[in-house]
Structure 1
Amino acid sequence: MLTTEQLAHAIRTGSQIHLGAVRSDHDPEEVQRPQYAEQRVDAAMLREVLTSVTDPDARGLTLSGAIVVGDLDLEYVTLGFPVRIVGSHFLGEVRMTHLTAPALDLTESVLHQPLDASAARINGDLTMSRVTAHDLITLLEARAEGFLQLDSARLLGEPISLNAGGVHVGGHAVVQVDAAGSVELYSARIEGELSLTRATLRAPVSLVCDRAQIADDIHASGLHAEGTVRMFDVVVGSGFYLWEATLNGPDVSLYLDRTRIAGDLLLTKIATAGSVLLYRTGVGGELDIRGATLGAGADPGQAPVSLSVKSLGAAADLDLRDITALGALRIRGSRIDGNLDLSAAGLAGTPVSLHVEHSVVRDEFNLRIAPEGAPVRLGPFEVGALRLPGAGQRPVLDVDSPPGWRIGVLAGPVSADPDVLDDWLAPVTSPQPREEIATVIARTGHEDAARRLRYLSAARSSARLGLPGRALRWVYRVSAGYGYYPWRALGWLVVVFAAAWMIAFTQRTEFTTPSTPVVREAIVRNDPGMLEGGQPPAVVRSGQWRAGWDVAQFHPAGYAATVAVPAAAVTTSTQWSPPAGWAAVTLSVLKGAAWVLTALLLAALTGLLRKPL
């Protein structure tokens, strides 16, 4: 058995003590069998030697293969040399609160009871690589000026395996663990990188990093978490790399809130069982979720959601290409300074598969979504460019897509095809999206296409009215093309003129006018046959007109002009009245129609009616 003198000698000379090998999967009973008797080290004796040696070698203590029996109490101890107890079993508790040491290394050791190093101060590395811990490891407010190494560690404590709240690491923190309980890094401060690469976390709340500050990257590619990964109010000085991770939290798999990431956030090809929630998060680079497979968890008060992004700020792209989502994608109140790309995304959420509202996309919003999903709801939103794919690749719009669309340009093969655009916008009841798209088309020089889209929009608005409203709108459509084709009214005025001329021409001898004194005198003198009972008639017909009368001769074309052109009716007086009966009634109707058509023509030309009513 190891003696006090041997331990002290090793510390003074820097020599290593190797007591043998012991398997890490042995339980306390197995390691106390007789064959391990020479490897046992009394914890009290170990403490006494560690605290009493006054002239240690700079290399300190290196002890391997030990079976430390009893509780090792190093609380409030200050050591002037590094301690390395590796490949060993600690059968009792390890208490290191407020320990101060140049370095501490427990590589490949087995901790059968809790280890508490709260407020410990390690001036170099704190190493627990390949450790097996059967109970809780506590590093509350601990400080390691070098690295924190927990690579390939097995942490079996439940419900919490590692509590490193408030830990301060001067270099990198490697937490590549297989943990049965939660890993808690809340309020941690890490001056280098945080590595969770290929870690396996099995607790319902797998990882908690609330209010942590990581000066460099977070590397978590290949992470496997059976519960929620949560980061609230976290600051990341560079990028966060979580590609090809598997997150099986059944409700919320990944939760980021008030997290500020200076570089990229890469969630490429992650697979989740529940939701990914990104709230009030700032990303200084790209947010890449390409090729992800997202399950569906609950969003309070909402349908199942796969990805919920609220108040996101992204300095580059939000890349959602090739993702598969079982629930809805919801983007609200966010600002994306690059592109929002949904190319080939398969969205299975219902009743709405995609909802983008109150968001700004500075560059291009690519909507080439697999069309077999549920409708998408857009607006209000602002985009620099909206890319609409060709046939068979456009998503169906939701009927409740609200107004408030703001679009810089339209891109894609149908960007100036009004009939295709109208068909795509058909489910939307609000006219504002059509008007906005028409404005964009007109701005790019396609005035005819914009006019056609506005006309089709007015037609769809009319179809939603009641019967009286539809009737009036039908007249408006036929007569002036809803104000977008005003020359239709002019064509109808020509029709009115032609009809009035035909009536006037066929009835040209039957128009009447009151006889004047000049007319009566001329009849008495020149046409006694027109006398009635020896007296001139009170009314004469146009067919009786004679030269010398002070009444102008009746001309069918001139009379038709006074019917079809209201201005002519005002400025040109006619002394002839149509014969009573059908002719008079028809000409009155034609005159009323002419007034209406002229009003519509002028209003349409001036723009008063050049929009849906």
Structure 2
Amino acid sequence: MEIANLTPAERRVWWAFPRGETADFSRPGDEHAEHGGSWGPERTVRAEVLRRLLLSGEPADGEIAALRVTGARVTGTLDLHNADVPYGIRFHECHFESELMLYGAEIRQLSLSRSYFPSLEGTALSVTRIVHFSNCRIPESLRLGGARFAGALFLDGAHIGDADSPQDQVLQLNHATVENDVVAPGLVVHGEIRLNGASITGSLVLDEAVLRHPGATVLYAKTLSVGTDVSATRLHAVGRLNLRGLRVAGQMDFAHARLANPGGMVLRASSIVAGEFWLREAAPIEGRVTLRRSQFELLHITPDAWPDSVRLDGLTYGTLDPHLPAEERLRLLEREEDGYVPHSYEQLALSYRRIGDDDAARTVQLAKQRRRRGTLRGPIKLWGHLQDVMVGYGYRPMRAAAWLLALMLTGSVAYGLHHPKPLKPGEAPDFNPVFYTLDLLLPIIDFGQEKAFKPQGAHQWLSYTLIITGWILATTIAAGITRALSRQ
């Protein structure tokens, strides 16, 4: 391309490129580049001119060439697919009329901050330094599947997708590799984000991001791997978050987040492995949540944040914060979609025992037995009721002592007022109503009273009642001791 065929604006870019200088077309009071379609020829550059510079331009002697343009309107399609570009590319506050084609390209550095472009095809793109899409406006899609970025990827303040017509996969990063952080605070996306199989060596930052795809998947991050943390404080997501198989070496921080997908699944976080999962002071979640088979060292969430429907089977955690009475935590387990899930009770009891709150752990175990009883039938269910009333399935041992004391007093008074007749007069020991009652109540103790005296009438029926009750108490206490030993 001859320089004589260039417009004055293009000549400015042509002369700035070899020295790595900036061709600045911006003017005071410029609106965002989104409205740059009306900019005149004095700040308009053809995409084919930029392409020729990047593919055949040479640096000036002793200089580092780079394409740096500010405040320009770019016409035509900037097509660099499969190109090897050894120079840095920086467009700041520029307006692109057509899609950017970067499929399979290798670029030293890429920055499009505060620019507008309809879409970008960057599948298999490779950038050896930082990538900036900060505060960009992209109404259609940003496709970076399989891309490799040796530096950080910045999406802070970017707006992607059409608010009036959200689409699937408006931001594609599936199977991408970022060898630093993905920094996207304040990101706004209307449609679906794809991060399936992606690998981020550093952190994923989504603080104060707004993700909207009502009634559909808004974030699909299946088997995403994050080397440090996921920070999503004050995230506002409308739609389904599918995080199945996510791996996070550090913490997932969703403090103050608002998650909503009314009538559907809002958070599918099954089979996740992460150090910590924080939902501190999060708004009440709208929609169903599943954390099945996930593993956390710490899970921080208050009961009021959980939705009405959850699936927690196989969820394991070391510590559950904040520390609350067991009764407040147990209400969540009643919301299980799958009904009675023994593992959920065992995990909650274990978390209380781990911090030394044995009373709360026993409360959880008792609730588990009561919930299990609802799944039983016939005599087994009746036997469960008896164990509950008598000794709280062995988790309320003082209740057994109270029953024994009450029955002992009842029997002692009744037999003290009406002594039973001796079976063999003259051979029977002196009658003692207290030890006679204990003989009836305690099946493994023999004070010699029961065998020597025989009550009549109503007192005989009282003795039968004491014997049966004693066996029930002994059996339920033994069951409770067995459970306690098995837990140890």
- Does the pair score TM above 0.5? yes
Partner SS state of residue 557, structure 1: helix
Correspondences of 1:383-462 after superposition (within 5 Å): 383-389=296-302, 394-412=304-322, 415-428=323-336, 429=339, 430-462=341-373
- TM-score w.r.t. length of structure 1: 0.65
Match of 1:262 in 2: 179
d(CA) in 2 for partners of 1:506, 1:162: 107
d(CA) in 1 for partners of 2:161, 2:415: 87
Match of 2:129 in 1: 216
d(CA) in 2 for partners of 1:448, 1:296: 45
Partner SS state of residue 173, structure 2: strand
Partner SS state of residue 476, structure 2: helix
Cα deviations across residues 249-292 of structure 1 (Å, max 9, x unaligned)? 52132111111111110111111211222211121222111111
**C-alpha deviation, 1:229, in angstroms:** 1.1
**Aligned equivalent of 2:84, options 168, 177, 201:** 168
* Uncovered stretches (5+) of structure 1, i.e. residues with no partner: 1-42, 47-61, 68-83, 89-101, 109-128, 298-302, 516-544
Partner SS state of residue 422, structure 1: helix
Question: Does residue 368 of structure 2 align to residue 491 of structure 1?
Answer: no
**C-alpha deviation, 1:296, in angstroms:** 0.5
Question: Are the aligned partners of 1:490 and 1:597 in contact in 2 as well (CA < 8 Å)?
Answer: no
Match of 1:76 in 2: none
d(CA) in 2 for partners of 1:387, 1:468: 41
The structure-2 alpha-carbon separation of the partners of 1:467 and 1:86, relative to structure 1 and needing over 3 Å to count, comes to farther
**Aligned equivalent of 2:290, options 374, 377, 381:** 377
Query: Higher relative contact order at CA 8 Å, sep ≥6: structure 1 or structure 2?
Result: 2
d(CA) in 2 for partners of 1:214, 1:475: 71
Correspondences of 1:178-217 after superposition (within 5 Å): 178-190=95-107, 192-202=108-118, 206-217=119-130
**C-alpha deviation, 1:553, in angstroms:** 4.2
d(CA) in 2 for partners of 1:595, 1:584: 17
- 344-353 or 490-499, larger mean C-alpha shift: 490-499
Q: State the structure with more CA Rg.
A: 1
d(CA) in 2 for partners of 1:286, 1:470: 52
**C-alpha deviation, 1:485, in angstroms:** 1.5
d(CA) in 2 for partners of 1:178, 1:605: 76
Question: Does residue 467 of structure 2 align to residue 586 of structure 1?
Answer: no
Correspondences of 1:300-315 after superposition (within 5 Å): 304-315=216-227
Match of 2:27 in 1: none
d(CA) in 2 for partners of 1:142, 1:601: 85
The structure with more helix, counted as a fraction of residues: 2
**C-alpha deviation, 1:328, in angstroms:** 2.4
Cα deviations across residues 176-222 of structure 1 (Å, max 9, x unaligned)? 653343322121112x32112123222xxx21211121111111101
The structure-2 alpha-carbon separation of the partners of 1:582 and 1:387, relative to structure 1 and needing over 3 Å to count, comes to same
Question: Does residue 316 of structure 2 align to residue 316 of structure 1?
Answer: no
Correspondences of 1:453-472 after superposition (within 5 Å): 453-462=364-373, 471-472=382-383
Partner SS state of residue 468, structure 2: helix
**Number of aligned residue pairs:** 451
The structure-2 alpha-carbon separation of the partners of 1:354 and 1:469, relative to structure 1 and needing over 3 Å to count, comes to farther
**C-alpha deviation, 1:341, in angstroms:** 1.6
Identity of matched residues, %: 21
The structure-2 alpha-carbon separation of the partners of 1:264 and 1:461, relative to structure 1 and needing over 3 Å to count, comes to same
The structure-2 alpha-carbon separation of the partners of 1:296 and 1:427, relative to structure 1 and needing over 3 Å to count, comes to same
d(CA) in 2 for partners of 1:143, 1:567: 100
Match of 1:131 in 2: 45
Question: Are the aligned partners of 1:317 and 1:338 in contact in 2 as well (CA < 8 Å)?
Answer: yes
d(CA) in 2 for partners of 1:187, 1:477: 68
d(CA) in 1 for partners of 2:285, 2:123: 39
Aligned partner letter, 1:314: V
**C-alpha deviation, 1:565, in angstroms:** 0.8
d(CA) in 2 for partners of 1:66, 1:314: 47
d(CA) in 2 for partners of 1:325, 1:175: 30
Question: Are the aligned partners of 1:209 and 1:232 in contact in 2 as well (CA < 8 Å)?
Answer: yes
d(CA) in 1 for partners of 2:194, 2:275: 22
Partner SS state of residue 250, structure 2: coil
Partner SS state of residue 207, structure 1: strand
**C-alpha deviation, 1:241, in angstroms:** 0.3
d(CA) in 2 for partners of 1:66, 1:305: 47
**C-alpha deviation, 1:375, in angstroms:** 4.5
d(CA) in 2 for partners of 1:104, 1:450: 68
Question: Are the aligned partners of 1:377 and 1:398 in contact in 2 as well (CA < 8 Å)?
Answer: no
The structure-2 alpha-carbon separation of the partners of 1:199 and 1:85, relative to structure 1 and needing over 3 Å to count, comes to closer
The structure-2 alpha-carbon separation of the partners of 1:65 and 1:312, relative to structure 1 and needing over 3 Å to count, comes to closer
Partner SS state of residue 455, structure 1: helix
Cα deviations across residues 551-594 of structure 1 (Å, max 9, x unaligned)? 4444333322221111114x857433534543323312321221
Partner SS state of residue 86, structure 1: helix
Partner SS state of residue 87, structure 2: coil
Aligned partner letter, 1:278: L
Match of 1:274 in 2: 191
Question: Are the aligned partners of 2:66 and 2:89 in contact in 1 as well (CA < 8 Å)?
Answer: yes
The structure-2 alpha-carbon separation of the partners of 1:130 and 1:337, relative to structure 1 and needing over 3 Å to count, comes to farther
- TM-score w.r.t. length of structure 2: 0.81
The structure-2 alpha-carbon separation of the partners of 1:367 and 1:405, relative to structure 1 and needing over 3 Å to count, comes to farther
Question: Are the aligned partners of 1:284 and 1:314 in contact in 2 as well (CA < 8 Å)?
Answer: yes
d(CA) in 1 for partners of 2:153, 2:407: 74
